[in-house]
Structure 1
């Protein structure tokens, strides 16, 4: 039994308790509509506002069948070195442009890069591969619209989508310059590592993970599909330079280690850092928890370096 009282500090516990007061651990037992109401309210409670000088434009990408809402963040000093395509977390069923609004605004302010947040379609109304298709469409739009390099970034479910896009666009003339994956669910081996050690972690359990997977696919077994499970790929060559940042007290942490190892074994650049004592979803704690604040700085530094084509690890 993992002793979380030892691993997790008082600041992080306070964040967990505040989160649970808005988003109880049994929320996955509610209807999807109710889950979204609860999640959206929680995100509003943690909203930290925009840094000075950041502006946002909400628009949409047109596809033959539908439009994909996006939000573009800029500052007066926005650099042309790269643009960041950001995919939000939320288990593939929650979240949108507002849930990660302040995170994207801060990422823009601190890196100096333009950030584009993508409101991909959610399950269960739109089963896999709808969300993945939207992520690829957003990349294609960015590659056509921008001359500057494209960096992929995402947290949790969004990290999964960012990685899946990286695998799908390796042969693209404008393939991503890099990717930063934040406590991403890459669907690794659930019989070992953090999936076992942290199966009942605060903020995310293996039961939660299986629930989201089931909802995303409509209960269909799609084992081995790379667009769903990036770690299922047999070929990790020619992926962009990758930085993976995970939380120690999170069943998904071992996915970061496994993904790094696969890229390095294929001759690529990948770096994995496991944040001690942190939990899934800690981006919302970046202003109140010292460890989360330090981790967000690490994320900013990774985005900044990769966006300039630098490998510093």
Structure 2
């Protein structure tokens, strides 16, 4: 097991403790309603407002609620899918994150409020994400970058896989500590089984509420690592937290895209934990990682690959 006292610095421990004040370690044992309540309280606690010049407006994307962030006259659109284990989160939970991505890149950001589990199960989350992405492509007629964190990273990749041959505007995808349906015997799942803020047991809970009956197999709209074809995907940047059980999903996904001849980069962030986007204002490592995330989004939107071949 990992020695977190050695791996995680004091800034990050302060962030972890602050998170647990609102969102306790046993949160998955609460009712769905209470999970959402405490998650929303936590997100409000960390909300930092909008940078100057960023505006947001809510729309219906062919029935899917979205929030669109703009600053100036954007020439690119980022479609952002929020994290929360497919169970919690929405337009408010990642509101300031999306506003800052808009500010840092100059791109329009469309945040997708897909329906949540367990009231709605797979493939509803994917279908809502795809509907909103198609809407954004038509509504703004601009190149797209797909982005998301955790469960939202899964959805971004699912959309990227499905978009092949269907949507020509996708220039890239940036996946932030995504759960991609990887092999749970990979080292990170055991090494970080009891990691702060996300454990292997938490992952098992979030998995079981996603579907009715048997777990979907060979379904890349459920788990991108279930696909058999990784060719034709857009340039991909995957960012993981090192102290996270799903860390190795990122490396596996990068390797499969590269093996199929595509461009993919894996950035593993030492000493960081799942959910560290909320720490970007208070933890130096998280601040640096958020800058790398925004640089990746901006570069892919300009059709630039800023990494080694």
Q: CA deviation at 1:174?
A: 2.0
Alpha-carbon distance change, 142 to 289 in structure 1, aligned in 2, over 3 angstroms: same
Q: In structure 2, what is the equivalent of residue 182 of structure 1? A: 176
Contact kept in structure 2, 1:84 and 1:151, CA below 8 Å: yes
Q: In structure 2, what is the equivalent of residue 33 of structure 1? A: 33
Q: 2:130 aligns with which of 124, 131, 136?
A: 136
Q: In structure 2, what is the equivalent of residue 79 of structure 1? A: 74
The 3-state SS of whatever aligns with 2:180 is coil
Contact kept in structure 2, 1:166 and 1:175, CA below 8 Å: no
Q: In structure 2, what is the equivalent of residue 159 of structure 1? A: 153
Contact kept in structure 1, 2:61 and 2:136, CA below 8 Å: no
The 3-state SS of whatever aligns with 2:265 is strand
Return structure 1 stretches of 4+ with deviation > 6 angstroms.
Answer: none
Q: In structure 2, what is the equivalent of residue 103 of structure 1? A: 97
1:57 and 2:57 are equivalent in the alignment = yes
1:70 and 2:66 are equivalent in the alignment = yes
Q: CA deviation at 1:142?
A: 1.5
User: What is the distance in 2 between the residues matched to 1:74 and 1:293?
Assistant: 22
User: What is the distance in 2 between the residues matched to 1:161 and 1:206?
Assistant: 20
User: What is the distance in 1 between the residues matched to 2:161 and 2:290?
Assistant: 25
User: What is the distance in 2 between the residues matched to 1:107 and 1:235?
Assistant: 30
Aligned 1:271-286 pairs, distance under 5 A: 271-286=265-280
Q: In structure 1, what is the equivalent of residue 192 of structure 2? A: 198
The 3-state SS of whatever aligns with 1:59 is strand
Q: In structure 2, what is the equivalent of residue 257 of structure 1? A: 251
Q: CA deviation at 1:175?
A: 4.4
Q: In structure 2, what is the equivalent of residue 292 of structure 1? A: 286
User: What is the distance in 1 between the residues matched to 2:211 and 2:141?
Assistant: 35
1:115 and 2:85 are equivalent in the alignment = no
Contact kept in structure 2, 1:124 and 1:218, CA below 8 Å: no
Q: Which blocks of at least 5 consecutive residues in structure 2 are unaligned?
A: none
Q: Which blocks of at least 5 consecutive residues in structure 1 are unaligned?
A: none
User: What is the distance in 2 between the residues matched to 1:254 and 1:173?
Assistant: 29
Q: CA deviation at 1:224?
A: 2.6
User: What is the distance in 1 between the residues matched to 2:41 and 2:217?
Assistant: 34
Report how many residues are paired: 307
Q: CA deviation at 1:192?
A: 1.8
Contact kept in structure 1, 2:87 and 2:206, CA below 8 Å: yes
Q: What are the Cα deviations for residues 188-246 of structure 1, in whole angstroms up to 9, with x where unaligned?
A: 11012211111111010111111001011145321332111100111100000000000
The 3-state SS of whatever aligns with 1:244 is strand
The 3-state SS of whatever aligns with 1:91 is coil
User: What is the distance in 2 between the residues matched to 1:301 and 1:308?
Assistant: 11
User: What is the distance in 1 between the residues matched to 2:70 and 2:138?
Assistant: 19
Alpha-carbon distance change, 173 to 36 in structure 1, aligned in 2, over 3 angstroms: closer
User: What is the distance in 1 between the residues matched to 2:135 and 2:2?
Assistant: 45
Contact kept in structure 2, 1:214 and 1:220, CA below 8 Å: no
The 3-state SS of whatever aligns with 2:210 is helix
1:94 and 2:75 are equivalent in the alignment = no
Cα-Cα RMSD: 0.9
TM-score, length basis structure 2 = 0.98
User: What is the distance in 2 between the residues matched to 1:272 and 1:200?
Assistant: 23
User: What is the distance in 2 between the residues matched to 1:23 and 1:139?
Assistant: 31
